[in-house]
Amino acid sequence: MNKKTSLKDIAKKAGVSTATVSYVLSKKENSGISKQVSQKIRKIAKELHYRPNQIAKSLQSGKTFTLGLIVADISNPFFAHIARIIEDEAKKHRYSVIFGSSDENAAKSRDLIRLLANRQVDGFIIAPTKDSQKEIQLLKKQNIPFVLIDRHFPKIDTDYVGIDNHKAAYNATSRLIGTGNSKIGIIAYSTSLHHMQERIRGYRSALKEHDIAGEDTWIGKVDFLNVKEEVRGAMDRLLRGPQAVTAILFATNTLAAHGLKYIKESGIQVPEDLSVIAFDESDAFDFFYCPVTYVKQPLTKMGREAVKILTGRIADPEKPAQQLILDAKVIVRKSCETSATRLPIS
């Protein structure tokens, strides 16, 4: 029906070549074409509602001005928020963003990366899943620009933006110790992903530093596939028996949300019975009956820098990889205040 109008249509109507039209419509103000012809062409272009076909431009230029964003789940507020920041920063550089959710699944992640690579995105921002080292290596070998966010593989030298997870977990745990807790648990994902390992390591370091002999049972591991149930199971284990903990560090917002629900339902009193600190941010932390202390990641900076590093790499594929490790901030609230009485669940 209503075919889109192309340079050719304009050229035909104006009685000139498509080259002339292209020069007029793409060049700023100069370059060879007479005022008369220029104006005529511009007029016709407007009449026909000409809109340049970006696909054709991309084919010819080899640039799509599109960034691929791959996260675990775009509906997770953590990633949704980052996505928004990336969108805004990308726009400043004239890029659009095409996204995909990997669900922490390496195969999905691989498929997404390939799909978007075929679509010739100019670069990727990726929160990689476990077991995707090979795919990341491949991107690197193919010289496709990308930046990892949130997680990375320390053995692969790549661009990366994230926080110092060890330090963040260390600080959070230290806070719990400082307010009088000596039995402290952590609930984390059961994954080899480095950021998660670092959070656990930071937790352990803090215990060790304060001469607390941590128990293995204090570390609750949760699989991505069955979060709700496994968080509850882990909480049960942490809060039971003679070594029951009096404080818990949740390694992500999702883990915390489930944990807090459990706490609420079991009638456990925070901070009297249990101190709590969580990673990330959530409405849940504000609205929980006792405002939850949390480890706030500098999302804005992370998103912006990721885009900057990526555009930098697109501009210069040869420059050395850059790892940007930011500090997270512990926002202290009531959920980890000192308390005298500590009652393990019987």
Q: How far is the CB of 65 from DNA (least distance, A)?
A: 12
Pairing status of strand 293-296 against strand 329-331: antiparallel
Choices 22-30, 118-126, 196-204, 214-222 (CB under 8 A): range interacting with a second copy? 118-126
Q: What is the DSSP letter of 183?
A: S
Q: How far is the CB of 232 from a second copy (least distance, A)?
A: 15
Choices 50-58, 163-171, 182-190, 328-336 (CB under 8 A): range interacting with a second copy? 50-58
Q: How far is the CB of 225 from a second copy (least distance, A)?
A: 17
Choices 16-24, 90-98, 218-226, 334-342 (CB under 8 A): range interacting with a second copy? 90-98
Choices 188-196, 222-230, 234-242, 276-284 (CB under 8 A): range interacting with a second copy? 276-284
Considering the rule CB under 7 A, would residue 257 count as an interface residue with DNA? no
List Cβ neighbours of 337 (8 Å cut-off, separation of 6 or more): 179, 271, 275
Considering only residues 139 through 178, tell me which ones interact with a second copy, judged by CB under 8 A. Answer: 141-143
Q: How far is CA 158 from CA 125, 138, 194, 264, 323, in A?
A: 12, 12, 14, 42, 7
Per-residue contact flags (x/-) with a second copy for residues 304 to 333, judged by CB under 8 A: -------------x----------------
Considering the rule CB under 8 A, would residue 100 count as an interface residue with a second copy? yes
Pick 171 or 254: Cβ nearer a second copy: 254
Furthest CA-CA distance within the chain: 90
Considering the rule CB under 7 A, would residue 76 count as an interface residue with DNA? no
Considering the rule CB under 7 A, would residue 269 count as an interface residue with DNA? no
Among 37, 98, 321, 345, binds a second copy (CB under 8 A): 98
Q: Which of 88, 118, 109, 160 is nearest to 313 (CA)?
A: 160
List Cβ neighbours of 248 (8 Å cut-off, separation of 6 or more): 184, 185, 186, 187, 235, 238, 259, 274, 275, 276, 277
Considering the rule CB under 7 A, would residue 25 count as an interface residue with DNA? yes
Considering the rule CB under 7 A, would residue 322 count as an interface residue with DNA? no
Q: How far is the CB of 52 from a second copy (least distance, A)?
A: 6
Cis peptide before 317 (omega within 30 of 0): no
Q: Which of 290, 327, 332 is nearest to 172 (CA)?
A: 332
Q: How far is the CB of 54 from DNA (least distance, A)?
A: 8
Could you give phi then psi for residue 187, rounded to 5 degrees? -120, 120
CB 64 within 8 A of CB 122: yes
Considering the rule CB under 8 A, would residue 2 count as an interface residue with a second copy? yes
Backbone φ/ψ region at 88: left (φ over 0), alpha (ψ -120 to 50), beta: alpha
With 0-12 CB in 10 A as exposed, 13-18 as middle and 19+ as buried, what is 227?
A: middle
Per-residue contact flags (x/-) with DNA for residues 152 to 181, judged by CB under 7 A: ------------------------------
Per-residue contact flags (x/-) with DNA for residues 26 to 55, judged by CB under 7 A: x-----xxx-xxx-----------xxxx--
Considering the rule CB under 7 A, would residue 264 count as an interface residue with DNA? no
Distance, CA of 155 to CA of 320 (rounded, Å): 15
Q: Which of 312, 318, 289, 282 is nearest to 81 (CA)?
A: 282
Could you give phi then psi for residue 279, rounded to 5 degrees? -80, 155
Q: Which residues bind a second copy (CB under 8 A)?
A: 1-2, 4, 49, 51-56, 58-59, 64, 66, 73-77, 80-81, 83-84, 87-88, 96-101, 114-120, 141-143, 257, 260-261, 264, 282-284, 286-289, 317
Q: Which residues bind DNA (CB under 7 A)?
A: 3-4, 6-8, 15-20, 22-23, 25-26, 32-34, 36-38, 50-53, 56-57, 59-62
